[in-house]
Structures are given as C-alpha cells and as structure tokens.
Amino acid sequence: MGAKLKTVRLELARTKDDPEGRTDTGYEFTAPLSADGHLDAEAWKAHRAECKVRRFFPGEKIQQGALLHRGPDRWLFSYDAGTEDDEPAFKFDRHKFQAGEYVSVTEHDGKTLTFKVASVK
C-alpha cells in the first residue's frame, strides 16, 4: 500500500523556559506518510500542491505555506517566494511521524526549536 496524506500537528516541546511545552506554538502540515510513518518523497511529487503548512505562534500572525522537498534528504516549510522565510526541518527524511516523537525545525531567524508530534490524522 502506498503513502497516504496525513495531517501532522507539531507542538513546542518542553524547554527550560516552558517545562510543560506549549500547545499554542507549532505547526500543522499535510504530507504523504508511508505505513510506518515516514515522509514519502515520491508521493510528495504527486501531491505537492496538497502539502500545506500552517505555522501558529502566540502573538504572531498565523502563516500559511507549503511543505517542500529539496534534494534527497532536505525538507522545509516555506511561506513566500524566495528563501528568506524558509524553515528547514532537521532530518525529516529520517523521522517517524507518530504521536509522542520529537522533531526539530530551524526558524527563519536561525533558532532551532524542538517540537513534539501531538497527532497524526
């Protein structure tokens, strides 16, 4: 069976400043996942127009963009044309997207934050 489009919700993981993490800070994105929960680059090619991201951070305007695949192992969130706002996803090609797992995203300001996979639907 091939990859299926899923909606993944990432919420800010616990940090020194937020020991409980934050449910109001994160991303929701649509992506093709294999049966074992990994991103499927080949399926992404067929569904790239559907692979959207929504970035939600308190005190900031919600940003809508796209999940992009660049090269064999590079995934990123992008919101406008150009690269100034791109947010590289750390080793998304290796991560298993299932509730309770952790992933990292480098914000467009260069700061890397860790997020917990809150849900996969």
For the stretch 84-101, pLDDT in tens is 778 888 888 888 999 999
- Segment 52-60 mean pLDDT: 96
- Segment 54-82 mean pLDDT: 90
pLDDT of the residue at 82: 64
pLDDT band at residue 1 using 50, 70 and 90 as cut-offs? low
pLDDT of the residue at 83: 63
pTM listed for this prediction: 0.91
Using CA atoms in the order 102, 62, 7, 94, what is the torsion angle rounded to 10 degrees?
-40
For residue 109, the enclosing domain spans: 4-120
Give how many domains the chain has, as a whole number. Answer: 1
User: pLDDT of 110-121, one tens digit each?
Assistant: 889 999 999 999
The closest alpha carbon to 5, from 114, 97, 77, 94, belongs to 97
Measured CA to CA, the distance from residue 26 to residue 20 in angstroms comes to: 14
